[in-house]
Structure 1
């Protein structure tokens, strides 16, 4: 997000949707970047009561619920992963699709391009050895075959030629390519499910604040076995690794005192995994309603409450492009799970240079589970930094 509507919470999925509504109604690329603090301000506004709300758990069935849920205002499909080539060099990637409904009802016009749905996508690649992170953004209307998402009979989500498409049960093919300064950047990957879906919150109902309906439906596919190729700087490398997919949909808004969030997905080599997020507030605290999930190697899962974890910032990094200062390294302690982790960016500069600025990047994880050392990989999303309301001390 997570943000992710972010960038996955992101990443709370609905953040991007509200930004998209305000910045992209014309379906053209915004001429200037918008500070991430303004995204949080937009997300704090009222919601349209003509849309469905996430009030109680609902049955989720797949692949049907991998598809779009247009009765809800916002939705995202968020893929991240850490990959390694044959020489041992590491890459991180993000491909996220965001959907927002501009109004609850479809327009009555007969045109094939008439729609109340707008899509946005973010694509980013981190080349760790090359010390480079590049990011791209696209918008399109959800009509005329330009962008959409379906779950039945098979799952696919796409925006023009950026796509994720099911090729067999539990298997998808991902493609995205873009150009920067004459250089092609692309991923061509196959992702295979190895574990059952993780339903966050209460059977997939993830509360984002104390208000009724301030929630979303949120699940993840973790441990996605990933193979394929990455192209950058004129070279194509064969890669393999692990990916993580988040899908979230709802009609919601941040509580009025929220200023941003920190979202983490972690996959340890011993099979334990973790999704964790904190929504930061103006007074330097965090909302207690949104938390996380621990997934054990045998696929059992337990909810992580606000009192279950302590997150300590170990370092900061200031962007030379925006002047925004972000946390850049953390210690995460979960005493109830006998887990202590150190989380470090694979590259400090993984700032997303899109229509609003946020930090989304690949991380490496080390630490201990009881007396046993553990290690793994993950992704982190940071939004709302740079806001004068909260300072830069988190």
Structure 2
């Protein structure tokens, strides 16, 4: 589902001096009413490459990459790169410090024994962060997700880079597979009350390049997953956080699942089954059995780091476990995100994000 907390966080952190700002409701304020912004409704027709760029009128948006990688010795790593856009008003972008858009970047690397994470903040309109389409470039400071493609779709070949204290990476991402519309033709519902986002993915990227952890450099390759999502109010005030899974199966199929936890009532559970050619099937709560198998003490709280996932209609019965249970994003608003391993009916790798614990 790729709801990402950061966009709303910068509205609170950088825009906190605005006394008219609404009081947070739900996790990270994601349940705040957004009547002034453009609503998310079913039936939208997506258009590429235009939808790779920003969407005026919507309050929240992100460009999000995760990658499962190995070096030549078979050592496993995970990489995360995210750019969040948060609009303080529903007006169009403008140049200069009067711009009402805030930007946040998150970057992380994970190995079996080490996890590093960093964040960057910027105001829009002054060249410190943004997203352009011609050529495609999403950036904040010196962190970039930029097109290297020459064809009609600028996101078929990308260069991904970030660097901070203790880590850095440069990766090349390539794919010739189609974009995947999540949910119901890109309408991704988050609650029984109808909160939703527009959501599409490229789960078929092949990744290669180098990463550095604590001065040690590794040549790596593997799978990467890009999520694009935008909304104005994706959650209800009753929803306290989520558990999100993106899974690369060795069979060539992909699975996206999310569970929206609530203060009262059962979690909202849904997902998408993606076959090896990119065709999708919406998964509803009755299609999925998601169970916590084991937890670990992480950053002073109990985190579910081993899960059982069963999708009987697809003969999937797997256990996923964290490569590094301590993949805690110790940022301004913390959360857990890191690579996972798959065992059981299907092998593979993936990523897990957990918020609100």
Please report the TM-score for the alignment, with normalisation by the length of structure 1.
Answer: 0.84
Q: Please, which runs of 5 or more residues in structure 1 have no aligned partner?
A: 7-15, 28-36, 369-373, 386-394
Distance in 2, matches of 1:328 and 1:186, equals 25
Aligned to 2:292: 313
SS of the residue corresponding to residue 158 of structure 1 reads strand
Number of positions where the alignment pairs a residue of Structure 1 with one of Structure 2: 346
Q: By how many angstroms is 1:105 displaced?
A: 2.0
State yes or no: 1:379 paired with 2:351: yes
Higher normalized contact order (CA 8 Å, seq sep 6+, divided by chain length): 1
Aligned to 2:202: 221
Aligned to 1:138: 120
> 1:251-288 CA deviation, whole Å, 9 max, x = no partner?
11422321211100000111111000011122362125
Aligned to 1:19: 9
Map 1:95-244 onto structure 2 (within 5 A). 95-105=81-91, 112-128=96-112, 131-151=113-133, 153-168=134-149, 169=151, 170-179=156-165, 183=166, 185-212=167-194, 214-244=195-225
Distance in 2, matches of 1:287 and 1:26, equals 31
Please report the TM-score for the alignment, with normalisation by the length of structure 2.
Answer: 0.92
Distance in 1, matches of 2:356 and 2:25, equals 8
SS of the residue corresponding to residue 177 of structure 1 reads strand
Distance in 2, matches of 1:40 and 1:296, equals 32
SS of the residue corresponding to residue 315 of structure 1 reads strand
Change (3 A) 1:107 1:74: closer
Q: Is the 8 Å Cα contact of residues 30 and 237 (structure 2) preserved in structure 1?
A: no
Change (3 A) 1:346 1:70: same
Aligned to 2:57: 71
Q: By how many angstroms is 1:107 displaced?
A: 8.3
Q: Is the 8 Å Cα contact of residues 25 and 32 (structure 2) preserved in structure 1?
A: no
Q: By how many angstroms is 1:94 displaced?
A: 0.5
Distance in 2, matches of 1:264 and 1:107, equals 33
State yes or no: 1:302 paired with 2:274: no
Q: Please, which runs of 5 or more residues in structure 2 have no aligned partner?
A: 18-23
Distance in 2, matches of 1:165 and 1:81, equals 16
Distance in 1, matches of 2:147 and 2:354, equals 30
Aligned to 1:260: 241
Q: Is the 8 Å Cα contact of residues 63 and 155 (structure 1) preserved in structure 2?
A: no
Q: Is the 8 Å Cα contact of residues 189 and 227 (structure 1) preserved in structure 2?
A: yes
RMSD value, Cα: 1.9
> 1:200-227 CA deviation, whole Å, 9 max, x = no partner?
1121111112335x21110010120101
Q: Is the 8 Å Cα contact of residues 221 and 246 (structure 1) preserved in structure 2?
A: yes
Aligned to 1:33: none
Distance in 2, matches of 1:107 and 1:122, equals 22
